[in-house]
Amino acid sequence: MQASRARLFKEYKEVQREKSADPDIQLICDDSNIFKWTALIKGPSETPYEGGVFQLAFAIPEQYPLLPPQVRFLTKIFHPNVHFKTGEICLDILKNAWSPAWTFQSVCRAIIALMAHPEPDSPLNCDSGNLLRSGDIRGYQSMARMYTRLAAMPKKG
């Protein structure tokens, strides 16, 4: 507990110091709980998520960094590797491929990369995975773009 708290404070200071370094990622620590963070990530360009801002929730276990943070999407997203209802993310570095070398910033970067390169072979969203596996790229992109517009873009007017 003490070691994880100390590391989190260091990461927090690093995030504060490098606030403008990465315009695609914004990390926010809970006011009263260092073990709860949220992040806002921009949808990568040239993907159906472009123009969207997606919110992630980080729940950090006491054994962090020996165990990975639990990250899930709070914003609805149509993506084969993200559970549509729960926002759970199927990403190896958040599970068996975790290492203490990862930071919240680099985890967000990996999630952005996952958005740009979905893996339909291990889907959490079967509809999305099936579209891609059957070769219906247009259908997948159309659905993903629609949900991005619905859930990840600020309402106009």
Q: Which residues are catalytic?
A: 90
Instruction: Decide: is 11 part of the binding site for another protein (CB under 8 A).
Output: yes
User: DSSP string covering 65-120, please?
Assistant: TSSPPEEEESS----TTB-TTT-BB--GGGTTT--TT--HHHHHHHHHHHHHS--T
List 45, 100, 146, 149, residue binding another protein (CB under 8 A): 100
- Interacting positions 25-64 with another protein (CB under 8 A): 31, 63
Q: Stretches 75-83, 97-105, 124-132, 139-147: which one binds another protein (CB under 8 A)?
A: 97-105
The pair of three-digit structure tokens given for residue 21, joined into one six-digit string: 């370094």
List 21, 66, 126, 146, residue binding another protein (CB under 8 A): 66
Which residue has 């570095």 as its token pair?
93
CB of 101 to another protein, least distance (A): 5
For another protein (CB under 8 A), the number of binding residues is 15
Q: Stretches 35-43, 65-73, 124-132, 135-143: which one binds another protein (CB under 8 A)?
A: 65-73
For 85-113, b/e burial (b = at least 16 CB within 10 A) is: eebbbbbebbeeebeeebbbbebbbbbbe
Rounded CA separation 36/54 (Å): 17
CB of 102 to another protein, least distance (A): 9
Rounded CA separation 120/99 (Å): 24
Q: Which residues bind another protein (CB under 8 A)?
A: 2-3, 6-7, 10-11, 19, 31, 63, 65-67, 99-101
